[in-house]
Structure formats: C-alpha cells, structure tokens
Structure 1
C-alpha cells in the first residue's frame, strides 16, 4: 500500500497533520506494508526565500486584514492545536518561499531520507523558528536528518536541481484536483483532505486494505487545511 502526502513546509496543518497521520499509521495493523511518499505543494509559489522576510504574524495580519494582535491570537490557537499533538510551535517565525526546500526533499527521497528531512524542516521552521530562507539553516536541518551537507549545498546552488520533480508533484496535485494541503492519497483511490484526527487515518488505511471502493473518506468536513496561498487559521474571519 502506498500513501502519498502533498504538503508544504510552511503549512502548520501539514506539520500537525503529519504527526496525526503517524499516530494513525501506528495503530494500523498493516503498517509495515505501507510506503509513504511525500509530494511537493507550494502554498505561495510567488513567495521568495528572503533573509529579511516578514514575520508570519505580520503576513497573516495583511492577508486577512486584521490587527496584528488578532493575528498573534490566531497563531496562538494553532500553537494550542500543535501542543495537543506534542509538538512545539513558535509564532515568531519568518514567512518564506519553499521551492528550494522542496528540491532538497526530493534529494532526500533519492537518498532514502525523505520523511526524516521533511520532519527536520518542520522542526526547524515551526519548533525552532530557524530562518529557512538562509541556506546554511537549511543545510543544518537537512544534515541533522542524515543528508550530506555538501550535497545539500550543491542542490541549493543549482536552481535546476530537482526543480522538475517539484513541478511534477504540483502538476499531479492539480490533475487530482488537490487545492489545499495536507492531502493524503492512498493507492490513488482514497483521498483524505486536511489535518484529520489520527483515528480517521487508521480507518482509511483499514478501508483501503479491504479494497473498499470508497473514494473520499468520510471524515470531518471542516478539518483545517491550507489552500490557495493561505492557511485556514481558526478565527481568521473574526473581527
């Protein structure tokens, strides 16, 4: 069985959703036979990796047209959701583009380290608020997960390295009708959208193992997800 997960490194519900999926997978009896493949998805393809990028709370305030204090409160609520999964979540991060990080994740896939490197990038961004716009911060995170530091530097220095692989993942997402992340696809027959509870993933894996013809898993319709350059942050529309 193969599970493909479309996600973005700056998507908080992808960070949380990864933890929930891993809990759900751990409870699935056939977990040893599950292959997990991570796919690239940029929430904001126009965003650049700039060392002097805007703090994420300022970005949210501008995106939703709310006061800065309300944006900080929105982030605090997401932090509470992360804490519920045992995750550290810092709200003093800088907003940044992720295309180059996705390229490194594809390098990691070739080296059999994709899940570990993606996890390291999530920790660097969300738990440690590292400047992921800085190449050496990216190298440090990737190397901590087992990649060769010089090989990571070489990929970052070559804008064409793995660029086609990232674009191919994004084209597949579009072909499958995926507009928000995280999005989980089981054997190209079962789709799960958003950061669902762990038990939803366990149920879906069991259904897929039984070859049930279900196409979309019956789950919480309003599970949080990120889409179209924005994140579904609780309270975003409140004034």
Structure 2
C-alpha cells in the first residue's frame, strides 16, 4: 500500500497534518505494509526566494485582514499544533519553497526524505530558522543523512530536481488537488486537509479491505484557516 502526500513546507496545516497522519498510521494494524512518499506542492510560486517577508504581514496582505486578525489566525493554528505536541512560532519568514522541494527529492534518492521533511518543518515552524540560507539548509540536510557536498550542489543548481518537482505538481493537478495537505492512497482514495488521526486510520483500513470498485469521494477540508492551505 502506498500513501502519497502532497505538501508544502510553508503550509502550517501540512506540518500538523503530518503529525496526525503519523498518529493514524501508528494505530493501523498493518502499518508495516505502508510506503509513504512525500510529493512537492508550492502554495506560492510567486513568493520571493528569500524568506524575508514576515508571515503575519503575508497573511494580512493575502486575506485582506489587519495584522491583529492575522495574529488571531495564527493563534488558532498554534493551538491546533499544540494539540499534536508541536511547537509553533509566528515570527518566522515566508518565501518561495522551490529550493526546499528540490532538496527533498535529493533526500528521497538517499532514502531519508521523511527525516529531512521533519527537520524542515521543525526548523520553519518550531524554530523560525531562515530556510533561504544555504548554510542552514546544508546543516539540516546533513543532519538528516544527505551528504553535505551533494546538498550544496543541488542548492547551487536551480535545475537540479526541478523536473521532479514540476512532475509532482502536475500529478497533483491531475488528481484535482487545489490545496494541501493532500493524501492519496494507492491513487484511489483521497483525503484532503489535516484530518484527525482516526480518519487516516479508518481510510487505511478501508483501502486495504476495499481494493476493488470505484474510488470514494475525498474527505474535504476548506481553507488555510481550517485544516488545509489553498493555493
């Protein structure tokens, strides 16, 4: 059984959704049969490469709200993160994530994709580290098991793994994903948004026992304020 997860490192609900999915997977009796593959999805392709825009300013501009309202939005997400035992900071920057996705494809080639994704989420949301800094990324990649020289090479070459990132994004569009996180089980069963852990467990059980027949409708979530981040 394969579970593909489309997500963006800039998406707080992807950070939360990963934890909830993992809790659901841990409760699934046949978890050892599950292969998890992380796929690329950019929420904001037009964001500047450097994460120099404070996330609260970005949210206020994107949704046409005041800074105080943006803080309230972030407080609700922080509460959801805390419910999963995750630290969450709103003093982080916002920027383009294409280089991060390319690095994750390199990590996949070394069999440490999940470890690097976990490190990137933690660095962004729990530590508010500057993910546009090659030195920061190099250290995170090396800590996850990616050779430092290879990480540096990929970060220095904007074409390295670019085709793989775009291929993931085309696949997401073909599957009808308009936001993340987006979970697909065996290219048959879809779950949209950071659903509760039990939803994931039930979906895995259903997929295992109902391997034939038409695909059911995906479980939906709405916007970045309620379980998923829309483009």
TM class by smaller structure: over 0.9
1:124 aligns with 2:123: yes
**Partner in structure 2 of residue 15 of structure 1:** 15
* SS state at 1:133 partner: coil
Contact 1:2 1:34 in 2 (8 A): yes
Q: How many residues align?
A: 227
Counterpart secondary structure, 1:5: strand
- Post-superposition offset of 1:219: 4.4
Q: Deviations over 1:74-126 (max 9, x none)?
A: 11110010000000011100011100000000000000001111111000100
Structure 1 residue 128: deviation in Å?
A: 0.5
1:158-237 to structure 2, matched below 5 A, reads 158-211=157-210, 213=213, 215-216=215-216, 219=219, 222=222, 224-228=227-231
Alignment deviations for residues 104-152 of structure 1 (CA, whole Å, 9 cap, x no partner): 0000000000111111100010010001111111112222211112211
Q: TM-score, normalised by structure 1?
A: 0.91
Aligned partner of 1:113 in structure 2 is 112
Structure 1 pair 135/33, CA: closer, same or farther in 2 (3 Å)? same
* Residues 190 and 219 in structure 2, CA contact (< 8 A), matched pair in contact too: no
Report how far residue 170 of structure 1 moved.
0.4
Moved more, 72-81 or 100-109: 72-81
The farther-off stretch of 71-80 and 84-93 is 71-80
Q: CA deviation at 1:216?
A: 3.7
Does the 8 Å contact 1:181/1:227 carry over to 2? yes
Secondary structure of residue in 1 paired with 2:53: coil
State the TM-score, normalized to the length of structure 2. 0.94
Could you tell me which runs of 5 or more consecutive residues in structure 1 were left unpaired when the two chains were aligned.
Answer: 229-239
For structure 2, the 5+ residue unaligned runs are none
Maintained 8 Å contact 2:189/2:218 = no
Aligned to 2:103: 104
